[in-house]
């Protein structure tokens, strides 16, 4: 449930609307996993539902930053190969 809400919030942040049920669920789940991993590294606790959602959204933001950096690298590599 937290992942679905986090994915929906991330969809609003990125696109102004959600990514649909499956997209929101996928993005939120990945974001939750990344958020929980980072939480463990930084020794941060999420004591309530709101904190867990914020953590999942933060993880989804990290996920989008990582995906964006890989896309930019791939586009740059493809341009270099075309030249």
Structural domain boundaries of the chain? Answer: 2-82
What per-residue confidence (pLDDT) applies to 9?
Answer: 83
**63: closest CA among 52, 71, 75?**
71
Whether 36 shows a pLDDT value over 80: the answer reads yes
Per-residue pLDDT tens for 20-32? 778 778 888 888 8
Query: In angstroms, what is the C-alpha Rg of the chain?
Result: 15
What number of H helices and E strands is found in the chain? Answer: 3, 0
Here the tokens at position 15 are 């696109």
Here the tokens at position 68 are 């964006």
Q: Which of 15-19, 22-26, 44-48, 67-71 has the lowest mean pLDDT?
A: 15-19
What whole-number distance in Å separates Cα of residue 79 and Cα of residue 38?
A: 34
pTM of the model: 0.72
* Phi (first) and psi of residue 44, to 5 degrees: -105, 140
What whole-number distance in Å separates Cα of residue 25 and Cα of residue 2?
A: 9
């Amino acid at each position: 449930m937290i992942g679905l809400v986090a994915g929906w919030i991330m969809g609003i942040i990125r696109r102004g609307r959600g990514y649909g049920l499956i997209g929101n669920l996928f993005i939120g789940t990945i974001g939750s996993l990344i958020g929980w991993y980072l939480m463990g590294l930084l020794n941060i606790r999420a004591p309530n539902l709101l904190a867990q959602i914020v953590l999942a959204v933060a993880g989804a933001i990290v996920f989008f930053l990582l995906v964006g950096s890989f896309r930019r690298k791939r586009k740059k590599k493809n341009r270099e190969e075309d030249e």
